[in-house]
Amino acid sequence: MFVLFMFRPVGVTMIMMITSSSVPKKKGRLVGLGRRTRSVPPSSAPPPFVDPEVLTAQLKDKDDRISLLEIQMAAQQAGYEAQKRLNQQMIEMMQRMYPNEVFPNVQDP
């Protein structure tokens, strides 16, 4: 025995009524009906293929940039040390020129 169902178009309001009656609510909001954004692939999908040469080139580029930044930071640190020595010499010279004055002891950052 076969049962034939007649399908008719269901309106948006009918879908909303069915959804709101069958889905649990938490603080007045429907729970468990989240949408996955298109930019996030499903977790079971394999990652897209990337040529190993491209990855190697990107790593080399990043390594080069890191080494340049390390050199730049070392040069800045040397400049800070030189400025610190110069400031200390100036304070000592001012203390010799004005022995009765009290100069604030400023800490370098």
CA–CA distance, 52 with 59 (Å, rounded to integer) = 10
- Tens digits of residue pLDDT in 44-86: 667 788 888 999 999 999 999 999 999 999 999 999 999 999 9
The token pair at 102 is: 């009290």
Flag whether the pTM goes above 0.85.
no
Give the DSSP H/E element, type plus range, for residue 26.
strand 25-26
Q: Which residue has the higher pLDDT, 43 or 90?
A: 90
Least confident of 8-12, 17-21, 56-60: 8-12
* Dihedral (Cα; 96, 102, 108, 109), 10-degree rounding: -170
CA–CA distance, 88 with 82 (Å, rounded to integer) = 10
Q: Is the distance from CB of 30 to CB of 20 less than 8 angstroms?
A: yes
Q: Which residue has the higher pLDDT, 19 or 49?
A: 49
CA–CA distance, 40 with 61 (Å, rounded to integer) = 27
